[in-house]
Amino acid sequence: MTDPQQPETPQAQSPETPEGFDLGTVIEQAKQVITDPANFYRAMPAAGGYREPMIFGLVMAALAGAVFAVLSIIGLTGAGFAGVAAILLAPIGTLLGSFIAAAALFVVWKLMGSPKDYQTAYRCVAYSYAILPVLALLSIIPYLGTFVRVAWSTWLMVTASVTVHGRKRQSTLIVFGILGLIVLSAGLSAEHTQRNMQSSAAKNAAQLEAP
């Protein structure tokens, strides 16, 4: 017979149940991605939904936008007060870009033989945005910011490929090394064009203001 006085066993909570936004947790995660990416990605759940990594990416983008806005106000970016719009535009662009980047990398990882799904690819990409505030600060240095952005992002994806997707390091370095060089070339070319346009616009404005 069952003892009617026997207490009921409490149900354990699912580790994937969202517990609400915690800025302290987000900051600690960002610090670990920056200082110890291998252990972060090794411990990162491959599943668990999009909510937490999405919020993480939005917070990092907002911080990066704020940094860029301040640098623009004091005249270090060349964007002037238009750079203040980065506070709003950075999170929106990052949110859309995260899904596109995850889709592209999902294809790459599938071609490399990874058994992981799109959600895992998205989580790998979203948490790599921990470096965005640092990159926003480096953006004031011509071309260095672009180089660091590509090199650092590539290294994080190499780390995720090995620790999360179980790919061999040597083949991963080859694949992402090639992709990184392509992205770096395109990024440096785009920055060169942008800086030339800004310089021309500044010269034209100075000529119009001259008596």
**Cβ pair 129, 34 in contact under 8 A:** no
User: Are the C-beta atoms of 132 and 61 separated by less than 8 Å?
Assistant: yes
pLDDT in single tens digits along all 211 residues of the chain: 444 444 443 333 323 334 567 888 999 999 999 999 999 999 999 999 899 999 999 999 999 989 888 888 887 776 666 667 788 888 999 999 999 999 999 999 999 999 999 999 999 999 999 999 999 998 888 888 899 999 999 999 999 999 999 999 999 999 999 999 999 999 888 877 876 776 665 565 555 565 5
**Residue 26 token pair:** 């987000």
Measured between alpha carbons, how far is 163 from 80 in angstroms, rounded to an integer?
42
In angstroms, the CA 60 to CA 91 distance is 8
Global confidence as pTM = 0.80
Nearest CA-CA partner of 116 in 46, 176, 194: 46
Alpha carbons within 13 angstroms on the beta-carbon side of residue 70 total: 8
What distance lies between CA 32 and its chain's CA centroid? 14
Neighbour count for residue 119 (Cβ, 10 Å) = 17
The domain ranges of the chain are: 48-202
* 113 token code pair: 């033989």
**Euclidean distance between CA atoms 78 and 72, whole angstroms:** 7
